[in-house]
Structure 1
Amino acid sequence: MKIARHLLSILSIIPASHALSNDTHYPLTLTNCGMEISLPSAPQSTVTVGQSATEILYALGLAERVAGTSVWFTPVLPEFREINADIERLADNDPSFEAVVNRRPELVAAQYEWHVGPTGSVATREQFHELGIATYVMPADCDTKDNSTGGDGTRTAAFSPESVYKGIRELATIFDVQEAGNALVAELETREATAIAAAEALELPDDLSAVFWFSSPDRSAAPYVAGRLGAPGYMMDALGIRNVVESDEEWPTVGWESIARADPDIIVVARMDRRRFAADDIAEKLDFLHSDPVTREMSAVRNGRIIEMDAHAMSATMRTLVGLETLVDALPTLAFDR
């Protein structure tokens, strides 16, 4: 099931009066990630710093308002490949402040506060605001999350897709396309419910456990694995799978010896195009798991219970629902004889 394919069918059944009743009145003021922002009108030009914001704007039918994109982990969703090809990519990773400003955006939409936030690697929000450029940070990165702790932040409560839906609705309000926002949220909610129902029908073993491996600075380093309260934690909770990593950090580093002692039933590994670290390459991950004297003895490795997942689905984005579907599709193919 693809987002774009079903979006049009959902839009066709929403009464016109519903959309008209929710028209945006400008100037629009709202509080986003603890900061009040004001927009005099719907932005005509936007730069995205983060794949999540990019794909949401595409899904809302706003590609013509996107003047530049940046921070890509994986290829764009297939349904947006054609429109994305015509939009300038400022950088695969962090763009410079100057590169963003030179596109003369009215809005900068960011996925992570560590890119555009109090100590933003691209810029602070105040730096953009001083130039009359509004900023919006996806709520999934600040609701129930403390980004002042360094690294990838610490969750103060469990991630829920509701924070993704909130971001979709707020962006739809900013651009006055509430009808498209309601349709996209309805689509994702349906996919979420369908995946969870399918998992319940699988009759999986009790107390299944898993670890999600995003990347590592190098093969010998402790890996970045998913904490219990982030997007992978949500997926595991939704499917009744126990995370062997109990940290509240978004992506803590945990030694392989500790992971091997926990011996998770399933290892989920991130697949991405990004090449910031050696272990960004999934071939490196798989080779390490099968060749390292510690990891190759783990039951998940010996029994072939390794699942590949789109790296962006492991972040708190609308692709989290795609990740949920990936798990549900893969679980029936695994043997859980213990």
Structure 2
Amino acid sequence: MLLHRVVTLMATLALPALAHGAPTQYPLTLQNCASPLTFQHAPKSAVTIGQAGTEMFYALGLGDRLVGTSLWFNDVPVQYQAQNAKVERLADNDPSFEAVIGKRPELVAVQLEWMVGPQGVVGTREQFHELNIPTYLMPSDCEGKDNLVGADGTRMQPFSIGSVYKSISQLAEIFDVQQRGEQLNNQLKASLEKSVASLKGKDLSSTSALFWFSSADMDIDPYVAGRKGIPDFMLNTLGVRNVVESDEEWPTVGWETLAKANPTFLVIARMDRRRFPADDVEKKLEFLRTDPVTRNMDAVKNNRIIVLDAHAMQASLRLFDGIETLATAISQHDLSK
């Protein structure tokens, strides 16, 4: 998988050739989600609120700068476990404002605006900036998206994979490791091209799918992927149609409606957190196979259920592994029947 290859990449980048990359010129000022950020030097310490940023730090060889992490969906990949064990986990979900500032970070990297933003559960960007702590919000969660509409925000424009590359490039520039960022992005782009090529020639014109992330309770409407979000990008990239038409990031839709849409594939999230009952993938599978509505869906009857890490359904490095897993699973099914 891709993340294993990233470790090889970082070993290569440790060679002296890295020194030939053009250094960042400080003071550095960049625009981040409508907020200017200025750095007089590369931050010596950082806290991440969101697993996407944490794993980007590790992939860029910046794990030694992290003094705290939070908001985890899945366990850290094996290749990062040793590094991750050295960093304090401030919270499995959202940390307190006090816990973050108590680490005295010179940067807070944030995956989701509902964590740090106008209605942030941790705090607002202004609260951090008043303490001279810059907050870097992942562009994937602010560009073309209104996070004040809908439970998890609403996409005004379709998610762009360029926002992930942008996060990597900007973090690399902030920390003066541009060559690492460039090579990581090149590797991600190559992985994406390979996944798309693996389905070349397969007729997917009538193929559809549904992403089920979780449910606040097993007997209420599930959180499913909207039509302009990250899972929708994954499907469209592979030539598969999303049956959900809402612009919300993760709208709730009734199972009767979803059953009528009758997707070819069901993609369900596996996560290690236990915030909701349906975070447990085994409970998802049991529900699908026993509920009187869902058990009659073609995807369930024909075992066209694909399990993905929840983190692979987000704007992260694992998104590329997720697309590879989807492509592999789809290629193994004879859809002509």
Scaled by the length of structure 1, what TM-score is found? 0.95
Alpha-carbon distance between aligned partners in 2 of 1:92 and 1:271, rounded to the nearest angstrom: 16
**1:155 and 2:151 equivalent?**
no
Contact 1:230/1:316 (8 A) holds in 2: no
**How far 1:78 moved relative to its partner?**
2.1
**How far 1:29 moved relative to its partner?**
1.1
Contact 1:164/1:317 (8 A) holds in 2: yes
Amino acid at match of 2:317: M
**3-state SS in 1 of match to 2:90:** strand
Aligned runs of 1:243-262 on 2, under 5 Å? 243-262=242-261
Contact 1:157/1:229 (8 A) holds in 2: yes
**Counterpart residue number, 2:73:** 73
Alpha-carbon distance between aligned partners in 2 of 1:81 and 1:335, rounded to the nearest angstrom: 38
**Counterpart residue number, 1:313:** 312
**How far 1:81 moved relative to its partner?**
1.2
**Counterpart residue number, 2:64:** 64
**Counterpart residue number, 1:128:** 128
Contact 2:10/2:61 (8 A) holds in 1: no
**How far 1:5 moved relative to its partner?**
3.3
**3-state SS in 2 of match to 1:199:** coil
Contact 2:10/2:59 (8 A) holds in 1: no
Contact 1:209/1:266 (8 A) holds in 2: yes
Alpha-carbon distance between aligned partners in 2 of 1:75 and 1:246, rounded to the nearest angstrom: 31
**3-state SS in 2 of match to 1:304:** coil
Alpha-carbon distance between aligned partners in 1 of 2:5 and 2:137, rounded to the nearest angstrom: 22
**1:239 and 2:238 equivalent?**
yes
**3-state SS in 2 of match to 1:213:** strand
**3-state SS in 2 of match to 1:200:** coil
Amino acid at match of 1:125: R
RMSD (Å), alpha carbons: 1.7
How many residue pairs match? The answer is 335
Aligned runs of 1:292-303 on 2, under 5 Å? 292-303=291-302
**3-state SS in 1 of match to 2:326:** helix
Contact 2:33/2:142 (8 A) holds in 1: yes
> For 1:222-267, what per-residue CA distance to the aligned partner results, in whole angstroms no more than 9, with x for missing partners?
0000011111111110111111001111101110000000100100
**Counterpart residue number, 1:212:** 211
Aligned runs of 1:1-338 on 2, under 5 Å? 1=1, 2-8=4-10, 11=13, 19-20=21-22, 23-201=23-201, 203-338=202-337
Alpha-carbon distance between aligned partners in 2 of 1:244 and 1:200, rounded to the nearest angstrom: 22
**3-state SS in 1 of match to 2:148:** helix
Over the matched positions of the two proteins, sequence identity in percent amounts to 54
Amino acid at match of 2:104: R
Q: Pick closer, same or farther for the CA change 1:14–1:206 going to 2, 3 Å.
A: farther
**How far 1:12 moved relative to its partner?**
8.0
Amino acid at match of 1:66: L
Alpha-carbon distance between aligned partners in 2 of 1:322 and 1:243, rounded to the nearest angstrom: 19
Alpha-carbon distance between aligned partners in 2 of 1:259 and 1:101, rounded to the nearest angstrom: 43
**How far 1:295 moved relative to its partner?**
0.2
Amino acid at match of 2:217: D
**3-state SS in 1 of match to 2:306:** strand
**How far 1:47 moved relative to its partner?**
0.4
Alpha-carbon distance between aligned partners in 2 of 1:58 and 1:16, rounded to the nearest angstrom: 17
Contact 1:215/1:270 (8 A) holds in 2: yes
Amino acid at match of 1:326: T
Contact 1:229/1:250 (8 A) holds in 2: yes
Q: Pick closer, same or farther for the CA change 1:132–1:9 going to 2, 3 Å.
A: closer
Contact 1:303/1:335 (8 A) holds in 2: no
Q: Which moves more between the two structures, 326-335 or 252-261?
A: 326-335
Alpha-carbon distance between aligned partners in 2 of 1:84 and 1:256, rounded to the nearest angstrom: 39
**How far 1:334 moved relative to its partner?**
2.7
**How far 1:169 moved relative to its partner?**
0.2
Q: Which moves more between the two structures, 52-61 or 7-16?
A: 7-16
Kindly report structure 1 stretches of 4+ aligned residues shifted beyond 6 Å.
12-15
Alpha-carbon distance between aligned partners in 2 of 1:37 and 1:275, rounded to the nearest angstrom: 35
**3-state SS in 1 of match to 2:21:** helix
Alpha-carbon distance between aligned partners in 2 of 1:217 and 1:209, rounded to the nearest angstrom: 25
